[in-house]
Amino acid sequence: MPMVQQETDKGNGDQMEFMKNLTLVSVALRSLVTTGLLLGGLGVGLVAGGISRAEAAADGEKALWVGGAGGLMVPNKSGTTARTMLGITAGAKIGTELGLGAYYFTSQKDEGGVVGKFDNDYYGVEGTYHFEGEAKGAYFGVRLGITKMDFGATPNQVSASPFHAGFIAGYNHWVTDFLSVGGDIGFYSVSKGEATSQATGTTVTVDSYSALNFLATLKLWL
């Protein structure tokens, strides 16, 4: 009987180790795909932006941008509260109205209680429409990417990387020919996903949630 018990325990241990490794591989592949999308989207944007920049130069306009953002994020998830959000964006206008770029935002806070920390990193690609004429400076767009989540109370903290989709609307006010200040409002829907325990490697299901952000922006135009 002891021999049978040992074999059973060994089999369960091997199975848990296999599932842990499978989860780690899945997370790594998802991160690799996302990184490829980010680099590909930014690369296409920069190439298109290079062409657009040459075309816009004759009109005295800038086609490439890189900037920072900061403000408030409000997650619609039980046990969480409003917190700060910081990030960076970069991209290029394709022609005079369309834009393509990439973004990274981070928001971290320890909520205490049973929720514990609830840290989020959002990164992905975006497509935008920029108004011309009397509404010049206004824009709206969509964002698609991955949400890197670390949450839970010690020692039961878990990590997950679900997909998200979002909508943004904002305004750029040019202070000079190459510098703008403004703001944008964003809505994100984060999908349900699987989380991996940082302590045991076991997998649990993470419910979907949504979030709003209100950010001030500063952009350098090239």
Residues 11-60 pLDDT 10s: 555 555 554 554 444 544 555 555 555 555 555 555 554 554 545 544 55
Q: Where are the chain's structural domains?
A: 2-221
Q: For the chain, give me the number of helices (H) and strands (E)?
A: 1, 11
Tens of pLDDT, residues 160-179:
899 999 999 999 999 998 99
Sign of the torsion angle spanned by Cα atoms 181, 185, 191, 195: positive
What's the rounded Cα separation, in Å, for the pair 106 and 108? 7
- What is the percentage of the chain residues whose pLDDT exceeds 70? 72
Instruction: For domain 2-221, give the fold.
Output: Porin (2.40.160)
For residues 198 and 158, the answer to whether their CB atoms sit within 8 Å is: yes
What is the token pair recorded at 181? 């200040």
Residue 4 vs residue 144, higher pLDDT = 144
Q: Is the pLDDT of residue 204 over 90?
A: no
